[in-house]
Structure 1
Amino acid sequence: MFILDSRLQQDCLPIGDFPLCHLLLMNDARYPWFVLVPRREEVTEVFQLDAADQRQLWHETTLLAETLKDTFVADKMNVAALGNVVSQLHMHVIVRKRDDAAWPAPVWGRHPALPYAEEQVRQLKERLRLVLTRDVVFVEEGA
């Protein structure tokens, strides 16, 4: 049975589900920072997924990155699967702008997280609903 790592539950807000991955929002309002987590048990590396799931993960990652780049007018998209702290396989998809708080350094550990206000999350979800019109089932409010 798939269980989301407790650190991801603690640090992220649920946005919805792609066919393979949970779509999460890192609770740091400094950056539009999303996390995709394949709903597969005990997977820590991409190569542990079967070939179909590997293709689906890449499809969902690139679809999300391209959509976010256009939606948030990114200067650069950071896409990474590190797993040094949270070993459960997850892909970070981060919108970067030259004027963001960490540019040009990585966002990890640069500044303490600045949590989203409820209204900011609501607006962000509404914005995403307009652009992620296929393949995503959004978490309903209060769910």
Structure 2
Amino acid sequence: MAELHPQLAQDCLTLGRFSLCHLLLMRDAHYPWFILVPDRDDIREIHELSVADQQQLLRESVGLSRALERAFTPDKLNIAALGNLVPQLHLHHIVRYDTDPAWPAPVWGRLPAIPYDDYGLIQVIEKLRGALGDEFSFALDLP
């Protein structure tokens, strides 16, 4: 596995992986906030991936997006690859509701993160289990 940037490792929980990407959950219970990180070393931008990996990243992003819509029924799904603070290529998928505490503004820096309690974390994982297909493998150490 490509080494995860220290900021991502600190801010996120690894849920599992697709064939190309690791799926992370941001440790912020304000929003269901997921991050895809391609398992490739020294990649900062999507265009730096091979064509095959670019296509696979898009397939995994679309598959995750569909799963998030099924599992969470958002008002809006925000998808972004910013990387201003974390140079390692990663793609945010943030479930948004018009009732969330940052709506309609971006979530970055809006509120201090609230960690998940055990019950909230299990709820998010169970929703994903029901929505993700066979192409995803959950990490073994999850409830």
Moved more, 126-135 or 18-27: 126-135
Structure 1 residue 141: Cα displacement: 2.4
After TM superposition, what 4+ stretches of structure 1 lie above 4 angstroms from structure 2?
none
RMSD after superposition: 1.3
Moved more, 123-132 or 12-21: 123-132
CA displacement 1:44-97 (0-9 Å, x = unmatched)? 000000000000001111111121022111111100000000000000000011
Give the residue type in structure 2 aligned to 1:67: A
TM-score computed with the length of structure 1 as normaliser? 0.96
Structure 1 gaps of 5+ residues are none
**Amino-acid identity (%):** 51
Structure 2 gaps of 5+ residues are none
Moved more, 116-125 or 6-15: 116-125
Residue 64 of structure 2: aligned partner: 64
Instruction: Find out whether 1:121 has 2:138 as its counterpart.
Output: no
Residue 93 of structure 1: aligned partner: 93
Residue 111 of structure 2: aligned partner: 111
TM-score computed with the length of structure 2 as normaliser? 0.96
In 2, the alpha carbon distance for the partners of 1:52 and 1:6 equals 27
Give the residue type in structure 1 aligned to 2:81: A
Moved more, 114-123 or 18-27: 114-123
Aligned length: 143
